[in-house]
Amino acid sequence: MSTLPTIPQSLIDRMKTIGPRWGENVPVHVKEMVTAYSEILATSPRQGLIQHDEIAYATHARQVLDIFRPELAQNAPVLIFLHGGAFVDGSKSRTPEIYSNVLRYFSRHGFVGVNIEYRLAPDFKYPSATEDLDLAMQWVHQNIHLYGGDDTKIFIMGHSAGAAHSSDYVYRLNSIAKKPSPILGHIIVSGRVRIENRLDNPNARKVEAYYGLDQNLFAQGSAINHVDKNSVPTMFAIAEYENPLIDMHCLELASHIAQLNGKAPRICWLEGHNHTSIIASLDTSDERLGSSILSFMQTQLSTN
């Protein structure tokens, strides 16, 4: 396997410097990390991987997806990824490298990756992104075999606001569907799993752009109100330096799941990383997150 690019010490030092001040100016710090990691990821190996871009799963311009697969994929497990962006921003291709790095990494380890785009606020309100994921899942079940994927071996992964959408689908919408999609596992990375507009949430106005001001919708969109003993197995990944409240809410949900099941879910805590670098580090030589997710998925595959 080709060597993955190394994160330079200068960037590691910079992350430690801005980490304690991450929440003071989230947009500026996110942009800095995206720029730095895009340069690093541009050198990641691509041998043996095939990419299919901008495949429509519905009619809106943003209802498209990209597929990443090993060249010889056959009946491979599938990983579906939803990007973040605080409900009003973001793209599956924030840069040519981010968030393609996520799917490239797991495709290199034998998965067919699906990178989903969805509609954004303020033009589209809750639960439009959940509905988009449902449409994309229908497309996957009908078509993923054409790309070497097995629709009985599906994992869903969401980062930041993307995890709010994936959680709403996995724990709420999919649970009430007449024919729920079989999902082997859910990976929450720095996820906004409790919906709130607290004064100490720097993205409160963006939350309101998608959910409005109705506290009932806040409750409906919060994963903690929908998980039960029969919910999809879930793992969590959080950074040392998160957007304010993100780590607290993830641990709250993880604790609730532990109480329901009598056993703690897998939690990966990434020392030195921040809300953006945690996901941007996939497909670099820092494989702490990737290895933990792969272990979680292999465990689910071996028990199903």
Q: What was the pLDDT predicted at 26? A: 95
CATH of domain 50-194+212-271+288-303: 3.40.50.1820
- Give the integer Cα–Cα distance in Å for 272 and 276: 12
Q: What was the pLDDT predicted at 55? A: 98
- CA quadruple 227, 228, 234, 236: dihedral, nearest 10: 50
With a cut of 50, list the residues of the chain below it in pLDDT. none
Q: What was the pLDDT predicted at 176? A: 86
pTM higher than 0.85 for the full model? Answer: yes
Q: Omega of the bond prior to 122 within 30 degrees of 0, cis?
A: yes
Q: What was the pLDDT predicted at 178? A: 83
Query: Which residues on adjacent β-strands are paired with residue 234?
Result: 186
What are the boundaries of each domain within the chain?
Answer: 50-194+212-271+288-303
- Give the integer Cα–Cα distance in Å for 169 and 132: 10
Q: What was the pLDDT predicted at 177? A: 85
Q: What was the pLDDT predicted at 75? A: 96
